[in-house]
Chain A
């Protein structure tokens, strides 16, 4: 069996999409709360003009966390003309009039968003609040009691960032397949992070940071027939991430990591990140590169998988015995009902 099939199995095990059954409850909770937010904001005089999912679910790069927790990033947008000058005010409305009334004990107003946890359902929801002026978005920045100097409507481009991550215009030939390979690579890297870093450090290796790095360094790999080779693609992409300039060398073989958002507000995603985080990130990424190369060089299927399990954890399959050409395969049927083809005669 090809190593790609094992990657496919691994990917099936870790991927999370909005349509997954595992996500169903989270989706229902999200829909329910969003409706209440709409009502509360309408009553408050700044009706919601749009809402959308942002974050990894919207870019098809979400993974199932090993803890089983689900994250939802639900953007709430109000019209600029109706938005109060005090950007914290809608956050308080959301917190007090919606979340606390629903019994959330731990609803918090954080600097970029309002957060709440469904503890019994392992669900964590973030509500970033934007005001919209024409096509421009501004994010409400500030904690509950922030004074005027510590709160502001800050320029942001959540939809532009999403579009940038999902952009496939630079991929020539089977562009959708290449974007899918990119999405898989981001998921592999996230699972690698969750496996290889302590919980505290992993939380500081932001998913959006990994995603931006991978996007900028992505190198698709397909054989001449069009069959993907995720192992090669990941190795090539990781190698590029290491030399792209994200890591600045400091004294004593330490590193500072810095990755800038490709859209407004163009800020450093790792702003305030410690040298320890940067050093661990860089060194473990380098180790990953070496392990991937080992896997590429390994000719035995089982040994190859063992190396990759070491990197990605137990969700990466290791077959009991090598699948040779004579072994029986179970049919996997297409998930499409029908596709239009270019075939004629």
Chain B
């Protein structure tokens, strides 16, 4: 790295830049005057630029608590955060420009934090949680809390002994009102060997001070906080050896949860310390709190709370159906009934989402168990039944959506006849893949809308009701299945990628339908590579050769469909 060139460039740009030695380390030092004083920015020289060059703020202690600046222990330097480093693409081929850009960002941020006090305070509160984490002990266990946030007592359970990961490796705080909630039952189901560690209080803060910059300042922060906020006298009078105080407060970035643990020095029990003197009898340490409720977890982890009240009937729990229910669960669907009469066998292992400890188990049951353990707020049921056994009007009308992934055109058409004849109102998605990675399809049939499953089965050559879908990419009547062990052992070759791709288009349709973003009967296909098909001498359809709308949601309606014109 040619720092002489960089210094020369910065000087040409009007900066006062020099190369110096600080604490036996080569540094690039920039001095910058601004209306409130002078900034001294120090960059420790590196051999290679792999991120935006970092500058530390010199004489950090003179500035007080600055947003986006954290102290560097043992030095009077501040580490400045000028943005998400990973997302910045740096011109490492022109280092002098990268330094100039970085310097400008540092100066802009620092002058703003120093000069604009209100903005600085707001930013300190916005980044409260990040700053709090910096003073926490990395080796201590997280505190999982199932609580609403109101002022109340909380019972604290210890981590399960020897557990290094999962819910069992963390403290668990349960309030009285939360003990019957789904989140608690979910967590309790995960780990049943916890011991009671003590008690604590959930304390909502209306007056939040910025997080302390070092753990040494935590006591001062605590005393100010309990002084400026309401804590029930009942809690104040409570005596104990160890207390967990779980705070929550509104910040510009949302409701933030964090906590402290107070442990008495020596023997005896005491009430919560309220002043500097009484605090001397206690050890105080910050703790990381992870709130566990669906309003927080579901949106944060990618689920949609709007789907929590929806009910889906999933028919077919094979490799496509298995992928779909996982994705629907991940989307936040609250209720699912899974139907499949098949058993999970070794033939399924590589293309099915289930793990091998479910071998021999009914697929619907296995997936139900998997979903219940994976998604905290889902409710699943299973039915060991075939599609045609589900022809019950009331039952079908009780769902918000029916998804069919059985790959059986005969049964699907028969079932569709029942839906039409009995005026079933529930939207239905039929989805299937084709062999050899050539593609997959999903069809959304919204009742009382133009387009139905049979539109996807109109014989395009004759206008008659076809037996094979006109969406297919492989021609009919080809011997596509592979036979390894005689009758009953025939299978259509495809892999888990094909199953997952197909599940994705079906799930997208499902979510769009449930959120009422898709309001007309639709079809979606994905088109894969045909090299395997060609090498085996199979023939593709014209649709395959012409298709260039992979993943696009297209109208399903076919003008020659007699059912849509019935």
Contact = CB atoms under 8 A, between A and B. Distances in A.
Contacts of A101: none
A4 interface: yes
Of listed B471, B480, B546, residue having the most chain A CB within 10 A: B546
Given A8-B462, A226-B546, A339 B468 contact: yes
B137 interface: no
Of listed B405, B479, B560, residue having the most chain A CB within 10 A: B560
Interface string A56-83: 0000000000000000000000000000
Nearest to B406: A345
B492 A344 contact: yes
A227 B546 CA distance: 11
Interface in A317-345: 325-336, 338-345
Contact of B479 (A5, A224, A325, A340): A340
A325 B561 CA distance: 10
Contacts of B459: 334
A173 B541 contact: yes
B432 A329 contact: no
A174 B468 CA distance: 14
Given A5-B463, A176-B475, A340 B480 contact: yes
Interface in A163-179: 172-178
A334 B464 contact: yes
A180 interface: yes
Contacts of B541: 173-174, 226
Contact of B562 (A228, A329, A343): A329
A225 B461 contact: no
A23 B307 CA distance: 63
A8 to B, nearest CB: 6
Contact of A332 (B464, B477, B492, B566): B464
B280 interface: no
B384 interface: no
Contact of A344 (B461, B494, B543): B494
B475 A222 contact: no
Contacts of A335: 462, 464
Contacts of A345: 316, 318-321, 405-407, 431-433, 499, 502
Contacts of B513: none
Interface string B444-460: 00000010000000011
B478 A332 contact: no
Contact of A343 (B434, B465, B560): B434
B408 interface: yes
B547 interface: yes
Given A176-B475, A339-B468, A226 B542 contact: yes
A169 to B, nearest CB: 11
A345 B322 CA distance: 10
A4 B459 CA distance: 12
Contact of B559 (A2, A174, A333): A2
Contacts of A333: 464-465
Contacts of A180: 461
B467 A338 contact: yes
A92 B560 CA distance: 55
A173 B542 contact: yes
A180 B475 CA distance: 15
Contacts of A2: 463, 559-560
B477 A339 contact: yes
Contacts of B395: none
A198 to B, nearest CB: 35
Contacts of A176: 475
B545 interface: yes
B565 A329 contact: yes
B435 interface: yes
A44 interface: no
Given A5-B560, A342-B473, A342-B492, A173 B466 contact: no
Given A178-B542, A343-B408, A343-B409, A224 B547 contact: yes
Contacts of A336: 467
Interface in A154-194: 172-178, 180
A159 B57 CA distance: 91
A153 to B, nearest CB: 40
B29 to A, nearest CB: 65
B206 interface: no
Contacts of A13: none
B304 interface: no
A334 B479 contact: no
A1 interface: yes
Contacts of B187: none
B502 to A, nearest CB: 8
A324 to B, nearest CB: 10
B438 to A, nearest CB: 7
Nearest to A180: B461
A227 B459 CA distance: 8
Interface in B511-543: 539-543
A213 B474 CA distance: 31
Contact of A325 (B407, B450, B476, B540): B450
B469 interface: yes
B169 interface: no
B233 to A, nearest CB: 63
B307 to A, nearest CB: 23
A136 to B, nearest CB: 30
Interface in B294-332: 316, 318-321
Contact of A173 (B450, B502, B543): B543
B461 A342 contact: no
A65 B184 CA distance: 82
A109 B418 CA distance: 64
Interface string A196-228: 000000000000000000000000001111111
A342 B468 CA distance: 8
A344 B472 contact: no
B338 to A, nearest CB: 14
A177 B318 contact: no
B435 A344 contact: yes
A230 B295 CA distance: 58
A344 B562 contact: no
Of listed B494, B543, B548, residue having the most chain A CB within 10 A: B543
Contacts of B472: 341-343
A173 B546 contact: yes
Contacts of B316: 345
Nearest to B559: A2
Contacts of B321: 345
Given A2-B559, A5-B560, A341-B472, A327 B565 contact: yes
Of listed A8, A176, A340, residue having the most chain B CB within 10 A: A340
Contact of A224 (B320, B435, B492, B546): B546
Closest 8 CB pairs of A and B: A173-B545, A345-B407, A342-B474, A174-B542, A329-B565, A332-B464, A344-B407, A227-B460
Given A332-B562, A340-B476, 19 more contacts: A1-B559, A5-B463, A173-B544, A176-B475, A177-B461, A224-B548, A226-B543, A226-B546, A228-B460, A325-B450, A327-B565, A328-B566, A332-B465, A333-B465, A339-B477, A340-B477, A340-B479, A342-B468, A345-B320
5 contacts: A177-B542, A180-B461, A325-B559, A332-B462, A342-B438
Interface of A: 1-2, 4-5, 8, 172-178, 180, 222-228, 325-336, 338-345
